[in-house]
Structure 1
Amino acid sequence: MSYLERMLEERLAKAAADGELSAPRLEGKPIADLHWERPEGWWAKRFFERELSHDRRAAALEGAAAARAAFWRCPDEDTVRAAVADANAAIDRANVNIVDGAPVDHFDTDDIVDRWRRLRR
């Protein structure tokens, strides 16, 4: 803590003790990493990563939709299972690059195979 910050804290504490300052109880969730000193440009870098993550997620969703459409054209069940495994592996690779907590969901292999069978009847 710098000299200026310490002096300010002491003055605020004295004013609160003397009744000159009303210091209500603070409630709520603390700000994460507030005590960490951030490097110059941290906000811009974080903003860029978050925006890039949105683009990556959109691309992953498009890829998943294309993979889903290809499932129904597979000639046999083994090919369907392999296609779902490939699609889930691609989703895993995409999810690694998605910053925020909105990963793309995996395909349920058994559900896809069951639907494929019903479409073949």
Structure 2
Amino acid sequence: MTQRKPAGVGFETWIERQIREAQDRGEFDDLPGAGKPLAGLHEPHDELWWVKEKLRREEGTALPPTLLLRKEAAAAREAAGRARTEAEVRSILAAINARIEDAIRKPMSGPPLNLMPFDVEHVVARWRADRSGG
């Protein structure tokens, strides 16, 4: 449990003592990034640097659910185009179609979804044509 600041001791002095004692105990050893320079130290000041970093780390998961599903649908279509087998194409489309159908039945928050399930047979026909060079 965290200790309480003793009366008559300034916050800065008390905090510095706790940090020094933790360093002496080795509690800061082996932290991620230890001994490495701080990222972005030489870049211009940006008040929203932490927001941008969080979005980068989470790869856009801060998007509203409807926009995130649209992004996933686009990625599924690309993955289906790169699939090695027809069964894989069908599996990818079945998974994303199930998510889209669920979102249509139970509306999600965010802008309108404006997304319909993929026509599996159409996508498979296109996949076959791309494989045959036609």
| Structure-1-length-normalised TM-score | 0.49
Tell which has more relative contact order, 1 or 2 (C-alpha 8 A, sep 6+): 1
